[in-house]
Structure 1
Amino acid sequence: MQTSAHLSGKEPRVVLSARGLSKSFGGFHAVKNVDIDVLDTQIHALIGPNGAGKTTVFNLLTKFLQPSSGRIELLGEDITKTAPDRVARKGLVRSFQISAVFPHLSVLDNVRVALQRPNGLATQFWQPLSALDRLNEQAEALIDRVGLHRERDAIAEDLSYGRKRVLEIATTLALDPRVLLLDEPMAGMGLEDVAMVAEIIKSVARDRAVLMVEHNLKIVSDICDHITVLQRGEILAQGDYATVSQDQRVRIAYMGTEEN
Structure 2
Amino acid sequence: MDTNIILETQGLTKEFRGFVAVRNVNLRVRRGTIHALIGPNGAGKTTVFNLLTKFHIPTAGQILFNGSDITAEKPAQIARRGIVRSFQISAVFPQMTVLENVKVALQRKLGLDHRFWQPVSTLRTLDPVAMDLLEQVGLDDAIHLLAADLPYGRKRTLEIATTLALDPELLLLDEPTQGMGHEDVDRIKDLIKKVSAQRTVLMVEHNMKVVADICDTITVLQRGEVLAEGPYASVSVNPAVREAYMGTEEEHV
TM-score, normalised by the number of residues in structure 2: 0.96
Cα distance per residue 1:133-172 (max 9 Å; x no partner): 1111110011001000111111000001110100000000
Q: Aligned letter for 2:223?
A: R
1:21 matches 2:12: yes
Deviation at 1:97, TM superposition (A): 10
Residues 98-247 of structure 1 mapped to structure 2, 5 A cutoff: 100-247=91-238
Aligned-partner SS, 2:197? coil
Whether the 8 Å contact between 1:12 and 1:41 is mirrored in structure 2 is no
Whether the 8 Å contact between 1:40 and 1:207 is mirrored in structure 2 is no
Aligned-partner SS, 1:64? coil
Q: Aligned letter for 1:33?
A: N
The CA RMSD measured in Å over matched residues stands at 1.6
Deviation at 1:96, TM superposition (A): 3.0
Find the aligned partners of 1:172 and 1:156 in 2 and give their Cα distance.
15
Find the aligned partners of 2:116 and 2:248 in 1 and give their Cα distance.
51
* Counterpart in the other structure of 2:58: 67
1:51 counterpart (42, 46, 63): 42
Q: Aligned letter for 1:52?
A: A
Aligned-partner SS, 1:177? coil
Deviation at 1:14, TM superposition (A): 1.1
Higher helix residue share: 2
Deviation at 1:127, TM superposition (A): 2.9
Residues 79-90 of structure 1 mapped to structure 2, 5 A cutoff: 79-90=70-81
Ranges in structure 1 where 5+ consecutive residues have no aligned partner = 1-10
Whether the 8 Å contact between 2:90 and 2:162 is mirrored in structure 1 is no
Aligned-partner SS, 1:170? helix
Cα distance per residue 1:6-45 (max 9 Å; x no partner): xxxxx98111111100000111000000011112221100
Find the aligned partners of 2:117 and 2:50 in 1 and give their Cα distance.
33
Q: Aligned letter for 1:13?
A: N
Aligned-partner SS, 1:258? helix
* Counterpart in the other structure of 1:8: none
Deviation at 1:130, TM superposition (A): 2.5
Ranges in structure 2 where 5+ consecutive residues have no aligned partner = none
Q: Aligned letter for 2:139?
A: L
Aligned identity (percent) is: 60
Whether the 8 Å contact between 1:230 and 1:237 is mirrored in structure 2 is yes
Aligned-partner SS, 2:167? coil
Whether the 8 Å contact between 1:97 and 1:185 is mirrored in structure 2 is no
Aligned-partner SS, 1:236? strand
Whether the 8 Å contact between 2:39 and 2:222 is mirrored in structure 1 is yes
